[in-house]
A and B are shown apart, each in its own frame.
Chain A
Amino acid sequence: MLEYALKGSRRYWGWLIFLLVVMGIGFSAYLTQFKVGLGITGMSRDVSWGLYVAQFTYLVGIAASGVMVVLPFYLHDYKAFGRITVLGEFLAIAAVLLCITFVFVDLAYPERILNVMLFPRPNSILFWDMIVLNGYLLLNILVGWNALAAERKGVHYQKWVKVLAYISIPWAFSIHTVTAFLYSGMPARDYWLSAIMAARFLVGAFCSGPAVLILLCLIIRKVSRFDPGKEQMRTLGGIVAYAFILNIFFLLLEVFTAFYSNIPAEKATWIYLYEGMGGHGQFVPWMWLSVVAGVVGLLLLIIPGTRRRLDTLAVGCVAVIVCTWIEKGFTLIPAGLTPNPFDQVFPYYPTVREVVITIGVYALGFFILTVLYKIAISVKEEVGA
C-alpha cells in the first residue's frame, strides 16, 4: 500500500518538500550538537534534562491516546469509530517514532544507544520504557496496517489482528505509566515524587491525544474526499472534555497537597513556576498562559453547544493542546529539576539550536504522519468509505 504515498497532488508534495527542508535544517543543527556536545543546548549541570526529554514525555502521551479510539471500537463495539481507528493507530506510530528520535537526540553519547539492549537492567525504568515503547510501535504497525489492508481488499481483518488490538489496550496504558514511573520514583525530585503522577500523565494523554486527532480529522475533511465523520469527532470531543476536566482536577489536587501542607520542598517548584524564585521567573508567563488556555478549553468543551459545533470544538482542542503542552511538554521536566538539590535556582531556557533541532524532529514526525495518513485516506477514498 506504500504506493499510495507516492501519488499525490501538488499541495501534498509541496507540504512534504517543505517538511524535508525543515528536517534538513534541524539535521544540520543536530550535526553541530553531535560534534560539539550537548553544551550547545540550554541544559546545565543543575537542569540536566530539558526540551528534548519534555517532548519525549509529551509525545508518549499522544501515542497512548490511540487507545481512546481503539478501546470503544474493539472492546465496546462502538461501530462509529471503525472509520477512524486506523487514524488513531497511525498517529500513535508517528508519535512513538518521534519519542524514540527525541531520546536519541537527547543522548549525550548517542553512538552507544545499543548499550541499553546489550546490557539490560530490569531495575531501571528506562529499560522497561524501551520495551513498552517498541512493543507498542510494533502492535500499532501490525494492527493498523493489517486492518487497513483488509479494508482495502474488502474483507474482514484476520482474527489475530483483534487479539493484538486487545493487547494494545492495556499496553497503551502501560507506556505512559512506565514513562511516569521514570519521574515519580526518584527520591531526589519533590515536584515529581507524587503517586498521582502516572494518573496525571494518563489523563493528560487522553485529552491531548484525541484533541490532536480531532484537529487532524478536520484537516483531512478539508484536504481529501474522506470524511472521518461528525459523530466520530463529537464523541472524541466528549472524551477530550472528560479527560481534560480530570487533568485540571488532578493538577489542582497536587496544588492542594503542596500548599495546604505548607512544606517548603513541596511548594518550591510550584512557586518557581507560577511566581518566580531566586530572581528567576522565565516560566511564569508560560504557566499563566497555560492557565488561560485551560479555562478557555474547559469552557468550550464543557458547554455542549460549543462542543458540538466543529469550529468551536477545534478552538477548544487547540486550547487543550496549548495548556497540556506548556504544562507537560515544556515546563514539567526542567521545573522538576529546579530548585536543584542545594535549593538553588539555576534557570533553564532552550537555546536557538535546541529549538531548531526540536522543530526538525517534529517535521520528521509530521512527515511520517503525512505519508501514513495519505495511505490510509487513499485506501478509504478508494473503498468509498
Chain B
Amino acid sequence: MEVDRRAFLKIAGLSGLLALGGTAAFKLFAPGEVDAAMEAVPLTEAKQWAMVVDMQKCWAKQKEGECKDCILACDYVHNVPRYGDPKDAIKWIFEEPYEDTFPEQQREFADENLKKLPFLLLCNHCTNPPCCRVCPTKATWKREKDGIVMQDLHRCIGCRFCMAACPYGSRSLNWVDPLVEMKDRDPRFPYNPDYPVRSKGVVEKCTFCDQRVDRGMTPACVVACKKKNVNALTFGDLTDKDSNVRKLIRENYTIVRKPQLGTGPNVFYIMRGNYA
C-alpha cells in the first residue's frame, strides 16, 4: 500500500493522540481499590447549619473586661496567622461596629450608642452563595448534606473571584506565607498540631469548624463562648423547627446582613433594642 508522507504523519499523529488520551482516560476513570473502603460513620446531622448571635450577652461580658475568646479560639484551632496589619489580614471570625456591619441601616439619629457597638462577623454560609457560583475550580462549594460552604485549599488557585463576589467581606487570601511571616511575630505559631497551616496563595474563611462538626462537636467559637458562660453564639440546624436556633429566631427579632441581595445568609443577629 502506497502511503505518502502526509498520510503517514496524519496516521502517526492520530495514533499518538489516541495512545496518550487512552492511557490518560484509563488512569482518570479506572476504579480505585481504596474507594471501596470509604463509608461514613454516622455523626451529628443537619440540613442547614446556622448560627444565632446575641450581641447583648457579649456586650454585657465586655463590660466586665475585654473578652475575645471566640476570635482567639478560632484563630488558635485553625492556625490563623495574626499579622496586625489590615492589608494582609486573615479573618475567620472578627469584629466590626454596627454601622459597618449593617451599612444600609444608616440613619442620622439612630441610637448613637448602637453605631459603634461591635458585632461578631463570620462567613454567613449563605443559602445561595455567590462565592460558590463564581469559583472556576469548585474549590469552594456548598455541602449538600449540611449546607456548610466549604473550602478545598488543595484546589484553590488564588484567583480571588470569590473574594470579589462575597458581599460580606468574609474571605481572606494568604498574600504571604504564614509560616514565614509568623516566625518572628509569634514563636508559638502554628498553635494547633491537629490542623494544617496554609500556604501562600489560597483563600480561606470560616468553615463552621467542619472538621469538628463532622465528628459531632460544635464550632470552637461557640464552645469558647459557652465556656465563659456567656452563650452569645448558638449553633444549630435551621431546618429543624424544634432546634435551638429556630427557637431563638421564633422568640426574638433577628436581622441578617444585606438580605436584599438574595444570598440567604444563615447567621442571624438578635436585636433587642435598649443599647444604653
Interface residues of A (CB under 8 A from B): 36-39, 43-46, 48-49, 106-110, 112-113, 115-116, 118-119, 121, 123-127, 130, 182, 186-189, 264-265, 336-337, 340-344, 346
Chain A residues whose C-beta falls within 8 Å of the C-beta of B3 in the assembled complex: none
Chain A residues whose C-beta falls within 8 Å of the C-beta of B172 in the assembled complex: 45
A39 with B175, Cβ < 8 A, contacts A124-B134, A342-B169 known:
yes
For B131, give the chain A residue with the smallest CB separation.
A188
A187 and B263 form a contact (CB under 8 A): yes
Tell me, in angstroms, the Cα distance from A188 to B96 when the chains sit together: 18
A44 and B104 form a contact (CB under 8 A): no
Tell me, in angstroms, the Cα distance from A112 to B176 when the chains sit together: 17
B157 and A113 form a contact (CB under 8 A): yes
Chain A residues whose C-beta falls within 8 Å of the C-beta of B103 in the assembled complex: 342-343
Chain B residues whose C-beta falls within 8 Å of the C-beta of A106 in the assembled complex: 159
B160 and A37 form a contact (CB under 8 A): no
A108 and B201 form a contact (CB under 8 A): yes
B45 within 8 A of A: no
Closest A-B pairs by Cβ, 8 of them? A108-B158, A109-B201, A108-B201, A39-B175, A188-B167, A37-B200, A126-B136, A342-B100
A46 with B201, Cβ < 8 A, contacts A108-B158, A112-B156 known:
no
Chain B residues whose C-beta falls within 8 Å of the C-beta of A189 in the assembled complex: 164
Chain B residues whose C-beta falls within 8 Å of the C-beta of A109 in the assembled complex: 156-158, 199-202
Tell me, in angstroms, the Cα distance from A336 to B160 when the chains sit together: 14
Determine how close the nearest CB of chain A comes to the CB of B26; give it in whole angstroms.
16
A107 and B262 form a contact (CB under 8 A): no
Q: Which of A48, A116, A125, A126 contacts B173 (CB 8 A)?
A: A48
Q: Which of A44, A127, A336 contacts B86 (CB 8 A)?
A: A44
A186 and B176 form a contact (CB under 8 A): no
Tell me, in angstroms, the Cα distance from A337 to B171 when the chains sit together: 13
12 A-B residue pairings within 8 Å (CB atoms) = A36-B200, A37-B201, A43-B175, A49-B160, A108-B158, A109-B200, A115-B136, A115-B155, A121-B135, A187-B130, A188-B167, A342-B96
A49 with B136, Cβ < 8 A, contacts A109-B201, A343-B103 known:
no
Chain A residues whose C-beta falls within 8 Å of the C-beta of B262 in the assembled complex: 187
Interface residues of B (CB under 8 A from A): 86-91, 96, 99-101, 103-104, 106, 130, 133-139, 155-161, 163-169, 172-177, 199-202, 258, 261-263
B88 and A121 form a contact (CB under 8 A): no
A126 with B161, Cβ < 8 A, contacts A44-B88, A45-B89, A119-B138 known:
yes
Chain A residues whose C-beta falls within 8 Å of the C-beta of B100 in the assembled complex: 342-344
Determine how close the nearest CB of chain B comes to the CB of A218; give it in whole angstroms.
38
B159 and A37 form a contact (CB under 8 A): no
Determine how close the nearest CB of chain B comes to the CB of A277; give it in whole angstroms.
13
Chain A residues whose C-beta falls within 8 Å of the C-beta of B139 in the assembled complex: 115
Q: Which of A36, A123, A337 contacts B164 (CB 8 A)?
A: A337
Chain A residues whose C-beta falls within 8 Å of the C-beta of B169 in the assembled complex: 45-46, 340-342
B159 and A126 form a contact (CB under 8 A): yes
Among A125, A126, A342, the one with the most B-chain Cβ atoms within 10 Å of its Cβ is A342
* 20 further A-B pairs in the complex, CB-CB below 8 A; given A341-B166, A341-B258, A343-B103: A48-B160, A49-B164, A108-B200, A108-B202, A109-B156, A109-B199, A112-B155, A115-B139, A118-B137, A119-B137, A124-B136, A126-B136, A127-B136, A130-B136, A187-B165, A187-B261, A188-B166, A341-B168, A342-B96, A342-B101
Determine how close the nearest CB of chain B comes to the CB of A320; give it in whole angstroms.
28
Q: Which of B135, B165, B175 contacts A188 (CB 8 A)?
A: B165
B174 and A124 form a contact (CB under 8 A): no
A45 and B155 form a contact (CB under 8 A): no
Chain B residues whose C-beta falls within 8 Å of the C-beta of A49 in the assembled complex: 160, 164
For B260, give the chain A residue with the smallest CB separation.
A187
A37 and B157 form a contact (CB under 8 A): no
B159 and A45 form a contact (CB under 8 A): no
Determine how close the nearest CB of chain A comes to the CB of B135; give it in whole angstroms.
6
Tell me, in angstroms, the Cα distance from A126 to B137 when the chains sit together: 9
Q: Which of B86, B138, B201, B258 contacts A38 (CB 8 A)?
A: B201
A45 and B200 form a contact (CB under 8 A): no
Chain A residues whose C-beta falls within 8 Å of the C-beta of B104 in the assembled complex: 265
Chain B residues whose C-beta falls within 8 Å of the C-beta of A182 in the assembled complex: 161
Among B101, B199, B200, the one with the most A-chain Cβ atoms within 10 Å of its Cβ is B200
Chain A residues whose C-beta falls within 8 Å of the C-beta of B177 in the assembled complex: 36-37
Tell me, in angstroms, the Cα distance from A38 to B172 when the chains sit together: 13
Tell me, in angstroms, the Cα distance from A189 to B169 when the chains sit together: 11
Tell me, in angstroms, the Cα distance from A38 to B176 when the chains sit together: 7
B159 and A38 form a contact (CB under 8 A): no
Tell me, in angstroms, the Cα distance from A336 to B156 when the chains sit together: 23
Tell me, in angstroms, the Cα distance from A45 to B84 when the chains sit together: 13
Determine how close the nearest CB of chain B comes to the CB of A143; give it in whole angstroms.
23
A108 with B91, Cβ < 8 A, contacts A124-B136, A187-B263, A265-B104 known:
no
B157 and A115 form a contact (CB under 8 A): yes
For A339, give the chain B residue with the smallest CB separation.
B103
Tell me, in angstroms, the Cα distance from A265 to B104 when the chains sit together: 8
A107 and B158 form a contact (CB under 8 A): yes
Tell me, in angstroms, the Cα distance from A125 to B137 when the chains sit together: 11
